[in-house]
């Protein structure tokens, strides 16, 4: 039961991860600062998926990266590209619409559950 529930939850969360990451990259972030930003907002992210995800986003030209060497240790900063911003805004709209519809659907269910 719990493993099934876990895998279903992971599946549910998987698609939203890209959106969450894109939303935080309007300002340049390096890997660990991004993790902290997301965790502060209550989004628990598997780090072994996050770092490869950042590279994939870069390859898809949604983000650009640059090495910052002036600090105590070199850090790779990622920031949304113009194309990435465009895609992010569309994804965001889509997500909001979707979640509204789903909310209505689930709310209707809840009313029924209560009347039973």
Partner 1 sequence: MNLTEIYIQEVTRRLPEKNRDDIALELRSTIEDMLPDDYNEHDVKEALEKLGNPAALASGYRDQPMHLIGPRYFDVYLSLLKMIIPIAAVIAVISMIAEYFISFGGEEAVMNAVLNMMGEGIWRIIEVGIHVFFWLTVVFVILERTDKGKEQHPLSASLKKWTPEDLKTVIYIPKKKAITKLEVFGYLMWTAIWATFYFYANHLLGIYKDGGEGLEFVMPALNQNVLLHYWPIVIVVIALEIGLALYKLLKGQWTKKVAIFNTIVELFATVVFIVIVSNPNLMNQESIAYMSNLFTTSTKQFEIWLIGGIIIIFVVSAAISIFDGFRKARIR
Instruction: Give contact residues for partner 1 (rule: CB under 8 A).
Output: 30-33, 46-49, 51-53, 55, 59, 67, 73-76
The distance of closest approach from Cβ of residue 75 to partner 1 in the complex, given in angstroms and rounded to an integer, is 5
Please list, residue by residue across 7-44, b when 16 or more beta carbons sit within 10 angstroms of its beta carbon and e when fewer do.
eeeeeeeeeebbebbbbbbeebbbeeebbebbeeeebe
* Phi, psi of 24, rounded to the nearest 5 degrees: -95, 0
The distance of closest approach from Cβ of residue 100 to partner 1 in the complex, given in angstroms and rounded to an integer, is 28
Whose Cβ is closer to partner 1: residue 36's or residue 97's?
Answer: 36
Whose Cβ is closer to partner 1: residue 74's or residue 108's?
Answer: 74
């Amino acid at each position: 039961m719990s493993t099934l529930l876990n895998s279903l939850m992971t599946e549910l969360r998987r698609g939203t991860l890209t959106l969450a990451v894109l939303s935080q990259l309007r300002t340049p972030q390096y890997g660990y600062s991004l993790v902290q930003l997301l965790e502060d907002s209550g989004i628990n992210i598997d780090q072994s998926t996050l770092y490869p995800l950042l590279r994939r986003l870069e390859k898809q030209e949604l983000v650009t990266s640059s090495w910052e060497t002036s600090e105590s240790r070199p850090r790779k900063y990622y920031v949304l590209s113009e194309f990435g911003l465009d895609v992010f805004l569309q994804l965001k709209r889509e997500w909001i619409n979707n979640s509204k519809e789903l909310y209505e659907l689930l709310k209707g269910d809840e009313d029924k559950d209560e009347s039973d």
